[in-house]
A and B are shown apart, each in its own frame.
Chain A
Amino acid sequence: MAVSLKVNGAVHSVPAQPDTPLLYVLRNDLELNGAKFGCGLAQCGACTVLVDGRPVRSCVTEVGSLGQSEITTLEGLGTAAKPHPLQQAFIDEQAAQCGYCINGMIMSAKALLDQNPHATAAQVREGLAGNLCRCGTHGRIIRAVLKASHTTGRI
């Protein structure tokens, strides 16, 4: 059994059952580290990827349900050498402690800013409400997203 997927602009055929959660295919077949296993229950957001621009919890999204959708992962935004403005803003603000949640924060923020490029602090907070951070890096994450959105304002 093989499933075809379009990830970060390239089509891949992977030897997975259609009911396999996308997360394991991304991590283990495509060797993409961005999306993380956090809960497997769509509660924490660490596994967030974009499917046709919408934020999706890859831990509960079956690969067989995706058809020809465009899947974008953290790796699809930029690289350490050439980071996306959101990634650069997270580096500039040192917006991580352990960093395990950061994939989800950046991917949810990407979806938010694509819809609302000048999001306010309150909108950023709401946009990231489904992404849990345990280290208490919330303020820096909000600042990084605001920086990337070219919005200034108090958080």
Chain B
Amino acid sequence: MNAHISRRDFAVGLGGIVVAFTLAPKLATGQQPAALPGSLNGNRMLDAWVRIAADGSATVCTGKVELGQGIVTALAQIAAEELDLPLARLRMISGDTEKTPNEGITSGSQSIENGGVALRLAGAEVRAILIDLAAKRLGVEASGLTVADGVISAADGRKVTYGELARDADLHREVTAKAKPKSPSAHRIVGKSIARFDIPAKVTGGVAFVQDLRLPGMLHGRVVRPPNYGAKLEAIDEAKIKAMPGVVAVVRDGSFLGVIAEREEQAIRASMALGQAARWAAGPPLPDQASLYDHLLSLPDEPHVISEKQAAAPDGARVMEATYHKPYMCHGAIGPSCAVAQFKDGKMTVWTHSQGVFPLRGNLVTALKLPPDKVHCIHAEGSGCYGHNGADDVALDAALLARAAPGGRPVRLQWMRGDEFGWEPFGPAMVMKTKAAIGADGRIVDWNYDVWTNTHSTRPGPGGNNLLASWYLNEPQKPAPPQILPQPAGGGDRNALPLYDFPRQRVVHHFIKEMPLRVSALRTLGAYANVFAIESFLDELALAAGADPVAFRLAHLRDPRGRAVIEAVAKKAKWAPGEKGGGGKGRGVGFAKYKNLATYVAVIADIEVDAASGKVSVPRAWAAADSGLIINPDGLANQIEGGIIQSTSWTLLEEVKFDRNGIKSRDWLTYPILTMPEAPTVEVELINRPEAPSLGAGEASQGPMVAAIANAFAAATGKRMRELPLTPERVRAVMRG
């Protein structure tokens, strides 16, 4: 969808305009083409990325989508910079299976790294092509031309505009990636805190979200989910519901149940009546939450040794060990998932806030048994998702209802609050065991780390159907077998490798295939819990060694950029080496380089613990971040701040509740999150490194923040919290123990 969203744009999309360009060149020779950088590799045609119109404006296409992280603005900055065009003359199109490159899923803090690199090189190449054309037209050397705002000028004052060259510019060619992008010192748009395109509509009631889409003749749908995973619909008397006011159709396919009505409140009432009328055979019981972690460890696991460093076994070293736990957590979007679908003339069009319109289309094609060219997915923003939530599932739900809608009328379906909590795939529970030894010199001489968890992605993709409703159809489809996500990025073992330099280490990822609860990618995947465990244990070791936590980290870390963020945050927070917390007040530090590949973040947090009630509060936090070359400083700061506050919420409050019969966290009372009075005040320092590649930052601060809180808790109380979240009950128990 266009970044500059308007109702007219929705209408244009509805018409199903197909842009006739091929996204991949034909390979006459059958040879593998040379690899291209970033997302160019899978989308090799220049005009798949950038097109120039006769009015001198550019259409810039990206397969990455806006999730509230400001990415479309940042990508536009990169493209405008290289094209030498003002931002106002760019039209951004993102996430459309018929209009944009396929960049997979917008996830893993990779949009700047892959999508940004593609647009930088494509933009530079288009600019070079236009300059060459101008040189020919003006009869001068290309090197003597200058470009400003889409106007190419010769030394003698003659000018030609991009618009005048557009017709002759053949952009339907394979990207060479040979055009040299600008040096950072020449940047005028990149590196500026450009205001986000999407915010004015969001603060004034413009059409900003898929939830705001209103198509002519649109109906409203709701679904009725089973009482628990795997339950089967035994009987339903539809007659009474069909007779309810406004009801257009009751849709049943196996154990998939939904309703379509003229008005939204009618669909809601009818779905409630349907829910009461339905008789279900319950699915298999869930584990007992009280012994969840023992249960996880009892399941078969596939051990993968992801790092093994041998060194002489230390003599007389002091050995310590600890076990840490992280529960299932919700994505908890403020707006439940929503989609609009229309089935007309044999073609299904779905407006979706999926993070990956192409993979979603793949699973929709399988579920609906339609040819790929008969399913069109168009991204429209939703509420922030923080990973794989109900966005893809609701798209299939809406499509199943739209197929039953009379006269090709579109159907808008938004999940109810309980649908989202009860059926979204959760961030998986995890168990982390650490064992290390400190030598006589106070240094870590041996490090052992084991993490047990499920896969951290069951997103739509090949190998099965990962859309919820497909498993409940009369002819049920099978989910893809759970996959381990390989290192170095990893999944459950993301950031399980410490960045510190230990002479001897062994790190094992115990991959558990059986999934008692539905799970998938939640922001940071395993990094949040792994950084919690590693950085907590590091502080335990520092304490045992009698070392200051900041100094102890620096003593084990060679990476200069890692050291720089730790030193910067210590300075910013006025960290006093050796300062002891106590009396319920303390501060702690946490550090990680996200995925060991992306942004470096160090955080210091101040916390207060009320011993009587067990309530933990986090009044302040400081962070230092290094993302290489910064594209949009304010956007980057927003991501780092947001991650810190979200992590505070996860750490203090969040845990999915369930019993043997199903998920019990169904609303904001049974799954509370951080409120406005509880949010820490955050100060962020950004370290810009123009000479270094830009690094993903959307998930970089959550791990360091949980560690900073846990370490501050220990400083404040002298007790160590090894199980998340730090709820009052758990804190009181630890304080007693």
CB of B214 closer than 8 Å to a CB of A:
yes
Bound-state CA distance A90–B645 (Å) is 19
Cross-chain contact of B668 among A32, A39, A129, A133 (Cβ < 8 A) = A39
Which residues of A are found within 8 Å of B382, using beta-carbon distances? 98, 100
A128-B676 CB under 8 A given contacts A97-B638, A139-B681:
yes
Residue of B204, B417, B674 with highest tally of chain A CB at under 10 A? B204
CB of B211 closer than 8 Å to a CB of A:
yes
**Are A96 and B335 neighbours in the complex by a CB distance under 8 Å?**
no
**Are B673 and A21 neighbours in the complex by a CB distance under 8 Å?**
no
Which 7 pairs between the two chains have the least Cβ-Cβ distance? A98-B68, A136-B645, A98-B384, A99-B202, A136-B642, A34-B205, A138-B679
**Are B68 and A90 neighbours in the complex by a CB distance under 8 Å?**
no
Which residues of A are found within 8 Å of B334, using beta-carbon distances? 36, 38, 44, 46, 98, 100-101, 132-134
A122's nearest neighbour on chain B, judged by CB, is B677
Bound-state CA distance A137–B203 (Å) is 14
Main secondary structure of the interface of B (DSSP, over half): loop
A101 to chain B, nearest CB (A): 5
CB of A102 closer than 8 Å to a CB of B:
yes
CB of B143 closer than 8 Å to a CB of A:
no
B69's nearest neighbour on chain A, judged by CB, is A97
**Are A136 and B646 neighbours in the complex by a CB distance under 8 Å?**
yes
CB of A40 closer than 8 Å to a CB of B:
yes
**Are B206 and A80 neighbours in the complex by a CB distance under 8 Å?**
yes
A-B contact pairs, 27 of them (CB 8 A): A27-B264, A33-B207, A38-B417, A41-B417, A41-B668, A44-B334, A78-B204, A90-B203, A94-B635, A98-B334, A98-B381, A102-B202, A102-B203, A128-B676, A129-B676, A131-B676, A134-B332, A134-B384, A135-B68, A135-B384, A136-B643, A136-B644, A136-B649, A137-B638, A137-B641, A139-B681, A141-B676
CB of B199 closer than 8 Å to a CB of A:
yes
A46's nearest neighbour on chain B, judged by CB, is B334
CB of B148 closer than 8 Å to a CB of A:
no
Which residues of A are found within 8 Å of B417, using beta-carbon distances? 38-41, 43
A125-B677 CB under 8 A given contacts A24-B264, A40-B416, A98-B383:
yes
Which residues of B are found within 8 Å of A79, using beta-carbon distances? 204
CB of B682 closer than 8 Å to a CB of A:
yes
Q: Considering the complex, which residues of chain B in the window 458-514 have a beta carbon less than 8 Å from any beta carbon of chain A?
A: none
**Are B384 and A100 neighbours in the complex by a CB distance under 8 Å?**
yes
A89's nearest neighbour on chain B, judged by CB, is B203
**Are B206 and A138 neighbours in the complex by a CB distance under 8 Å?**
no
**Are A80 and B200 neighbours in the complex by a CB distance under 8 Å?**
yes
CB of A48 closer than 8 Å to a CB of B:
no
CB of B67 closer than 8 Å to a CB of A:
yes
CB of B336 closer than 8 Å to a CB of A:
yes
B60 to chain A, nearest CB (A): 22
Bound-state CA distance A91–B204 (Å) is 10
**Are B203 and A96 neighbours in the complex by a CB distance under 8 Å?**
yes
A32's nearest neighbour on chain B, judged by CB, is B205
Bound-state CA distance A138–B643 (Å) is 11
Bound-state CA distance A125–B382 (Å) is 26
Report A's interface with B, CB cutoff 8 A: 16-17, 20-21, 24, 27-28, 31-34, 36-41, 43-44, 46, 73-75, 77-80, 83, 87, 90-91, 94, 96-103, 106, 122, 124-126, 128-142, 154-155
Which residues of A are found within 8 Å of B644, using beta-carbon distances? 136
Which residues of B are found within 8 Å of A133, using beta-carbon distances? 334, 676
B128 to chain A, nearest CB (A): 34
Which residues of B are found within 8 Å of A33, using beta-carbon distances? 205-209, 212
Which residues of B are found within 8 Å of A142, using beta-carbon distances? 676
**Are A136 and B641 neighbours in the complex by a CB distance under 8 Å?**
yes
A91-B199 CB under 8 A given contacts A33-B212, A132-B673:
yes
CB of B174 closer than 8 Å to a CB of A:
no
**Are B263 and A16 neighbours in the complex by a CB distance under 8 Å?**
yes
Bound-state CA distance A100–B420 (Å) is 16
CB of B386 closer than 8 Å to a CB of A:
yes
Which residues of A are found within 8 Å of B268, using beta-carbon distances? 40
A24 to chain B, nearest CB (A): 5
CB of B277 closer than 8 Å to a CB of A:
no
Which residues of A are found within 8 Å of B263, using beta-carbon distances? 16, 20, 24, 28
A37 to chain B, nearest CB (A): 6
Interface string of B672-695 (1 = CB under 8 A from A): 011111010110000000000000
CB of B192 closer than 8 Å to a CB of A:
no
CB of B196 closer than 8 Å to a CB of A:
yes
Q: Considering the complex, which residues of chain B in the window 328-345 have a beta carbon less than 8 Å from any beta carbon of chain A?
A: 332-336
Q: Considering the complex, which residues of chain B in the window 368-393 have a beta carbon less than 8 Å from any beta carbon of chain A?
A: 381-384, 386
Bound-state CA distance A78–B94 (Å) is 28
CB of B669 closer than 8 Å to a CB of A:
yes
Known: A33-B206, A135-B646. 14 other contacts (CB 8 A): A27-B264, A28-B220, A43-B417, A43-B668, A74-B203, A87-B204, A96-B202, A98-B68, A100-B333, A102-B203, A133-B334, A135-B642, A139-B645, A141-B676
